Structure 1
Amino acid sequence: MKTYLIAQDLWGVIEGMEETPDQEKNNVAFNAWSKKNSMALHVIQISCGPNLFSVIIREISLAKIAWNTLAKKYTMLKTTYSGTDNNRNDSYVEYEDLYKAVRGGDWNAAKEFLERRPDALNAKITTLGKMALHIAVVAGQERIGEKLVERMSREDLEILDNFGDTALNEAAVRGEYRLVKCMLRKNESLVSIGSSTQTIPLVKAISYGQIETARCLYSVTPLEDLMPEKDHNGATLLSNAIYTRNLDIALHLVKRCPRLALSLGKDGNSTLLALASTPNAFPSGNPLVFWKQGIYNYCIKHLYEMKLIHIQSKELLHRMCEGLSNLTIQQWQESFLNDTIIRAIKNGIFEIVYGMLKADPELEWTTDQKSRRIFSIVVLHHEDGNGMLHMAGMFTDSNMLNHISGAALQMQRELQWFKEIESIVHPKAKEAINKDGMTPRQLFTKTHKNLRKEGEQWMKDATTSCTVVGALIITIMFAATFTIPGGNKQNTGLPMFLNRKWFTLFILSDALSLFSSTTLVLMFLGILTSRYAEDDFLVTLPRKMIIGFSTLFFSIATMMIAFCAALSIMLNGQYWIVILIICLASVPVTLFIVSQFRLLLEIAISTYRANIFNKKMKPLF
């Protein structure tokens, strides 16, 4: 088991190398640690027999404590076994040849043994109470497993090992799809026989990520085994289906049994909370660049899966929220609705917040542990005497900023957020003082000091590089004006090819490139010499960046046009060469646009959109 835990990167929580993070200080780290602890504890629990589990570790919630408790008990158990039954292991020696044959994949030897000892077919041939079929499943010997199933009766397949597992349970955990189907053909009732933890094969399969096997088991598992009144299996299945992105299973299950939407799984959490913990299942958790968003809207093949998940998530959310308004006070408390809506806010899943509020407007009064209401939590996630505007002015490491390119645009987004909140609070709140004697704007300046410096450095680095490029273009285009292709006439000094269309194109593109590159240098110099005040990041600096980048694109494009026009004049009549040169000249322009146009568009959208709040949603009331 230790080797397995190490391989799954779970040994740290057992050994104590990964200490429990402070949830208040680092909620992300705490959630990651909790997930590892739950996975390690689950492995330990399912590996214990029913007696060990119920007597020793049933109430233990930390994997480290469960492991240490079992370690202390092990010596006593070992002594008890060796003292009461010295021949315990010897009783299994007679099955050693069958064990080796099954595990080694030698069906002929196994068949010969079973013909001599037919009773060995359903006998427990190891100290762990495993039958030959159990061994075949564990060893991955599908062919031998199928042969054994053919010889076994329906009742034989229901025999449990010392851990309370049927061979089907073993096959479900290991994803032995063919053996699962083979066993079910002989005895479909196996799907209802759980392990020592009362977990049916379907739930075990999806918990271990064996999706194909889980789908097979789901198609034959009776709905009665998944009802919330019976046990935790239905809710646990629904939670795992959400976490593993098998939302078609989750949606189908909720349609069959709507009560599961607010039931608690084995881990004690509600299924709706599981949905609130998967931001990537909703469009708001998958912000796309403009061109991908366009493709997404038309459901192109390579984005089909993502869009399908979004559609299924929305329908699943709708069905899970249908019964919220009819809950009793006790059901309301047991369904973790407060935790769910707060988790959705923290993860930025506005669809869940909107859906829950629409289903039950009373959730508007939800508060967290610090008695902050929903809107205050929204503001904080974008306390000692801090008002709403103070909270908006505080800088927090938000997941939403990770999708914004560059510290300067992140600073702009923070300013936009602060300005939007400032526009809706009472005017008195703008000058309110917190316990440190700071107004909201002073608090904003203090907490965003580092981000402002990072934004300043980001802009200086970008503009310095672009200024160098612009200066080179100015030099080239200015020189090209006085070294025109073909030279000048001796008697008049006019260009030799003055009357040609290509020459007109050359002069116009050269002039345009020169003027636009001069403009971009001036714009970027304006950025370099800016004072970089906070409000400059809102419009002034981004606008200069937009003008600078736009003129840079234009100057490079017109420079290449001038180059192609000049060559066309000199290579008069050699059209195939001209066409080839034009194609080659378009390559650097295209590469530059592809690499930098996204940033330009991002700056433009961020600067000139209507406001930061999403206005697509209709009012709730």
Structure 2
Amino acid sequence: MYPKLGVTQDHSGNYTLRILAHKPSAFPSGTKLTIWEKWIYYCVRVHSPWDSHHDKENLEMQTSSISDGHINIEVHDSSVDTGHGGLTTRVLQLVRKLGWVILKFLVPEINHMHHRKLVHVESLKLLSVVFDQMRHLSKSQLEKMDFDKIIYDSVKHGILELIKEMIKYRPDIIWREDKKGRAIFSHAIVLRQEKIFSLIYTLGTKKSIMARRHDIFKNNYLHLAAKLSPPPQLQRVSGAALQMQRELQWFKEVESIVQPKLKEEVNEYNKTPEMLFTDEHKKLAKEAESWMKSTAGSSMIVGTLIAAVMFTTAFTVPGGNRNDNGMPTMLQTQRHPFIIFMVTNALSMFSSSTSLLMFLGILTARYAEEDFLKSLPTKLIFGLTCLFFSIVTMMGSFGSALYLILHDQLSWVTIPIIILSTIPIVLFSILQFPLLIEMTNRTYGSGIFDKPKKSVFAKIQARFVGWNRFSGQH
């Protein structure tokens, strides 16, 4: 082991930290996984070669390692290796090894996830060694390393683990400013790295002190949040309306931690944060308005067609009406299928009409900046949900109508046609559901910031205390 190599230049003049700051994939925070990959990543256990140097006394664990493209399972047990206990242990080792080998062939993704997790583990251990040496470096040595650039690059690439290690080994790093007078959290706001910005909630009372800082352009934190996101961050969100919503969420979140007087403070260009936000987001606001109107307009056409068809179908029921009382003939001969037909028809009519009202509300909205935060997304979510429900019930009405007409003569045709009627539902789900789910999560989900959440008891207690104070004043 040569720990000082971590703070020594290589032949290219680079430092270990500078290289790691450009390798987000080497850390968990910079790796995007699907639900299936996350489950495999969580289940796979790795044994880093570093452990043989540091943790020899803790080798009582199951580890998986890749050797020549094969998964080898090693179980190190400090218990008695003789007798029945040793035999049982060896049998368990063999069973586990065999199980992993079988899984390796059945699920090739295991090898990939194991390698990825091993890289993450070793990167974190490398960080620990490097920062253990860095705590002894002087200010001039940090300047030589261009440490401010390392901080900026780490924030830019969203490497949460690297920033955490910096703060762990050198807590004063949170106050360190670059040439523009910006520290870690200033960079996190400008570069829109919510995971790193969320670390500010762990500072306790220092949070309010940190939130009062300014850069050399007299920008406070809210001015920085008012600036437009970098293009790579905007492109992570689909649709201009959701991009505008995300920008507003950032602005509102930073606004909640700064002092009220800072909201009206001007920078060197004589602009308040709100004025700067409006200027920076003019183009995006227009694109968001156009996107909303286009989505609502096209969806409104579909809703109108469904409503018209369902209204017409309600008065031209299969089988016609009786001459004596005008009641549908199928109501007596095929009561249950006919009731299904009428109920699904009515539900489709009502839900499509409701979606039309939602889309009409979007088209006639004032399109103020605040509307993109919740008002417009809520209308679009409700409108698309009702539209999807109207399509499902319309196909149900169509299938039951076919059954009523063909069940006596061509009953075999009914099932294939009903199955084919599910195709529009599937297509709508594939095309619109991802947008609907994303919009719902961003509007009503847990939020993009990792804030400490109060328990239900704490919220009730806070309200009770507030009520007591109010009562005491009266």
| TM-score between both structures, scaled by the size of structure 1 | 0.54
Structure of larger gyration radius: 1
Partner Cα separation in structure 1 for residue 225 and residue 269 of structure 2: 16
Aligned twin of 2:128: 321
Q: Go from structure 1 to structure 2 and tell me whether the alpha carbon gap of 1:306 and 1:616 turns closer, same or farther (over 3 Å shift).
A: farther
Alignment of 1:129-208 (within 5 A): none
Deviations 1:492-537, CA, capped at 9 Å, x for gaps: 2111111421111111111111100001111011001111000000
Task: Determine if the alignment matches structure 1 residue 276 to structure 2 residue 21.
Answer: yes
Task: Determine if the alignment matches structure 1 residue 546 to structure 2 residue 381.
Answer: yes
Q: Go from structure 1 to structure 2 and tell me whether the alpha carbon gap of 1:546 and 1:439 turns closer, same or farther (over 3 Å shift).
A: same
* Contact 1:269–1:336 (8 Å) recurs in 2: no
Question: Which amino acid is the alignment partner of residue 548 of structure 1?
Answer: G
Give 1:396 deviation, angstroms. 3.5
Aligned-partner SS, 1:433: coil
Match of 2:189 among 379, 386, 391: 379
Question: Which amino acid is the alignment partner of residue 558 of structure 1?
Answer: T
Give 1:603 deviation, angstroms. 0.5
Task: Determine if the alignment matches structure 1 residue 391 to structure 2 residue 224.
Answer: yes
Q: Go from structure 1 to structure 2 and tell me whether the alpha carbon gap of 1:298 and 1:477 turns closer, same or farther (over 3 Å shift).
A: farther
Aligned-partner SS, 1:486: coil
* Contact 2:127–2:162 (8 Å) recurs in 1: no
Partner Cα separation in structure 1 for residue 316 and residue 108 of structure 2: 52
Question: Which amino acid is the alignment partner of residue 189 of structure 2?
Answer: V
Q: Go from structure 1 to structure 2 and tell me whether the alpha carbon gap of 1:269 and 1:479 turns closer, same or farther (over 3 Å shift).
A: same
What are structure 2's unaligned runs of at least 5 residues? 42-106, 193-215, 454-474
What are structure 1's unaligned runs of at least 5 residues? 1-255
Aligned twin of 1:597: 433
Task: Determine if the alignment matches structure 1 residue 351 to structure 2 residue 161.
Answer: yes
Give 1:309 deviation, angstroms. 2.4
Deviations 1:102-161, CA, capped at 9 Å, x for gaps: xxxxxxxxxxxxxxxxxxxxxxxxxxxxxxxxxxxxxxxxxxxxxxxxxxxxxxxxxxxx
Aligned twin of 2:66: none
Task: Tell me whether 569-578 or 485-494 shows the greater mean CA deviation.
Answer: 569-578
* Contact 2:229–2:247 (8 Å) recurs in 1: no
Aligned twin of 2:180: 370
Give 1:611 deviation, angstroms. 3.4
* Contact 2:40–2:113 (8 Å) recurs in 1: no
* Contact 1:322–1:359 (8 Å) recurs in 2: no
Partner Cα separation in structure 2 for residue 533 and residue 304 of structure 1: 51
Alignment of 1:235-246 (within 5 A): none
Deviations 1:269-317, CA, capped at 9 Å, x for gaps: 21222221123444544556xxx33553345755863674255225413
* Contact 2:27–2:124 (8 Å) recurs in 1: no
Partner Cα separation in structure 2 for residue 309 and residue 364 of structure 1: 30
Aligned twin of 1:612: 448
Number of residues of Structure 1 aligned to a counterpart in Structure 2: 359
Task: For CA contacts below 8 A with separation 6 or more, give which structure has more relative contact order.
Answer: 2
Question: Which amino acid is the alignment partner of residue 252 of structure 2?
Answer: K
Aligned twin of 2:359: 524
Match of 2:307 among 452, 474, 493: 474
Match of 1:509 among 344, 349, 372: 344
* Contact 2:6–2:129 (8 Å) recurs in 1: no
Question: Which amino acid is the alignment partner of residue 603 of structure 1?
Answer: M
* Contact 2:131–2:165 (8 Å) recurs in 1: no
Question: Which amino acid is the alignment partner of residue 346 of structure 1?
Answer: K
Partner Cα separation in structure 1 for residue 424 and residue 159 of structure 2: 40
Q: Go from structure 1 to structure 2 and tell me whether the alpha carbon gap of 1:423 and 1:308 turns closer, same or farther (over 3 Å shift).
A: farther
Task: Determine if the alignment matches structure 1 residue 265 to structure 2 residue 74.
Answer: no
Partner Cα separation in structure 2 for residue 303 and residue 437 of structure 1: 57
Task: Tell me whether 528-537 or 340-349 shows the greater mean CA deviation.
Answer: 340-349
Q: Go from structure 1 to structure 2 and tell me whether the alpha carbon gap of 1:360 and 1:575 turns closer, same or farther (over 3 Å shift).
A: farther
* Contact 1:263–1:335 (8 Å) recurs in 2: no
Q: Go from structure 1 to structure 2 and tell me whether the alpha carbon gap of 1:357 and 1:301 turns closer, same or farther (over 3 Å shift).
A: farther
Partner Cα separation in structure 2 for residue 546 and residue 311 of structure 1: 41
Task: Tell me whether 308-317 or 549-558 shows the greater mean CA deviation.
Answer: 308-317
* Contact 2:127–2:165 (8 Å) recurs in 1: no
Q: Go from structure 1 to structure 2 and tell me whether the alpha carbon gap of 1:307 and 1:353 turns closer, same or farther (over 3 Å shift).
A: farther
Aligned twin of 2:296: 463
Match of 2:415 among 579, 582, 593: 579
Question: Which amino acid is the alignment partner of residue 7 of structure 2?
Answer: L
Aligned twin of 1:312: 119
Partner Cα separation in structure 1 for residue 178 and residue 303 of structure 2: 54
Partner Cα separation in structure 2 for residue 335 and residue 293 of structure 1: 39
Deviations 1:335-359, CA, capped at 9 Å, x for gaps: 4443222101112222321232223
Deviations 1:160-217, CA, capped at 9 Å, x for gaps: xxxxxxxxxxxxxxxxxxxxxxxxxxxxxxxxxxxxxxxxxxxxxxxxxxxxxxxxxx
Partner Cα separation in structure 1 for residue 37 and residue 314 of structure 2: 44
Deviations 1:368-401, CA, capped at 9 Å, x for gaps: 2222111112112226222221111111424222
Partner Cα separation in structure 1 for residue 258 and residue 294 of structure 2: 37
Partner Cα separation in structure 1 for residue 319 and residue 115 of structure 2: 62
Cα RMSD for the two superposed structures: 2.4
- Identity over aligned residues, as a percent? 43
Task: Determine if the alignment matches structure 1 residue 560 to structure 2 residue 389.
Answer: no
Task: Tell me whether 256-265 or 448-457 shows the greater mean CA deviation.
Answer: 256-265
Alignment of 1:51-62 (within 5 A): none
Q: Go from structure 1 to structure 2 and tell me whether the alpha carbon gap of 1:308 and 1:616 turns closer, same or farther (over 3 Å shift).
A: farther
Task: Tell me whether 507-516 or 307-316 shows the greater mean CA deviation.
Answer: 307-316
Question: Which amino acid is the alignment partner of residue 446 of structure 1?
Answer: D
Aligned twin of 2:319: 486
Aligned twin of 1:400: 233
Q: Go from structure 1 to structure 2 and tell me whether the alpha carbon gap of 1:444 and 1:552 turns closer, same or farther (over 3 Å shift).
A: same
Q: Go from structure 1 to structure 2 and tell me whether the alpha carbon gap of 1:311 and 1:538 turns closer, same or farther (over 3 Å shift).
A: farther
Alignment of 1:412-451 (within 5 A): 412-451=245-284
Partner Cα separation in structure 2 for residue 510 and residue 372 of structure 1: 61
Give 1:604 deviation, angstroms. 0.6
Question: Which amino acid is the alignment partner of residue 430 of structure 2?
Answer: V
